[in-house]
Amino acid sequence: MKLAAVEGITPVNLDSPTHTAADLLALITATRGPDAHHDPGLAHSAQEAADLAHASGAGLVAAVTHPSADPALLTAVVTTTPHTPADLHTHLSQGDITDITHSRTETGYPVVIAERITTTPGCQLQAVVLNPTTRRAAIFTLHSPTGRGWWELASLLGQLITTIEFD
């Protein structure tokens, strides 16, 4: 999978969970300002996110930042799937996800977007870009722990997805 650079989406090192966590922590701390160093939960959260990303085989881990938003985490995994966009919509709608939309990238790949805004602080969006000829799928997950600036963060993900090219 190839993606273009999008301002506000900064990929981190995937050499090891330790490097990934360190890069995430540095980006989030820089975005939140000098007082972020006093938040003991940030290092733990960065390590947890890095461990999960490595365990799932993520091909992309990035911090997503916007001046009007708190930082968010983006991961992407490429896999194969027998599902069509309609199959995915049906499968996702059987769970607790109620906001499911369809779109297409500029190059014509179908995209299924599922958004979950919880009653507690935080938002999550998953976008699955499908390559129907090879049955490959890129699954992007954007997670904002606070939800502040959610629409701006989701817009950055949309900009990134439009640039996808499957190898």
The total number of structural domains in the chain stands at 1
Specify the pLDDT at position 120: 67
* pLDDT tens-digit series, residues 30-56: 887 777 767 777 888 889 989 999 999
Specify the pLDDT at position 54: 95
Q: What is the DSSP letter of 146?
A: S
Specify the pLDDT at position 165: 93
Residue 104 lies in a domain: yes
Element (H, E) at 79: strand 72-80
For the beta carbon of residue 19, count every other beta carbon within 10 angstroms: 13
Residue 131 lies in a domain: yes
Residue 103 lies in a domain: yes
Specify the pLDDT at position 134: 92
Residue range of the domain that includes 130: 9-14+57-161
Those residues with Cβ within 8 angstroms of residue 52's Cβ, 6 or more apart along the chain or in another chain:
75
Residue 35 lies in a domain: no
Specify the pLDDT at position 118: 64
Specify the pLDDT at position 119: 58
Q: Please identify which residue in the block is written with the tokens 């090891």.
A: 16
Ranges of the chain whose pLDDT falls below 50: none
Q: Name the 3-class secondary structure at 10.
A: strand
Specify the pLDDT at position 117: 62
pTM of the model: 0.90
Instruction: Check which CATH number belongs to the domain holding 105 and give it.
Output: 3.40.1000
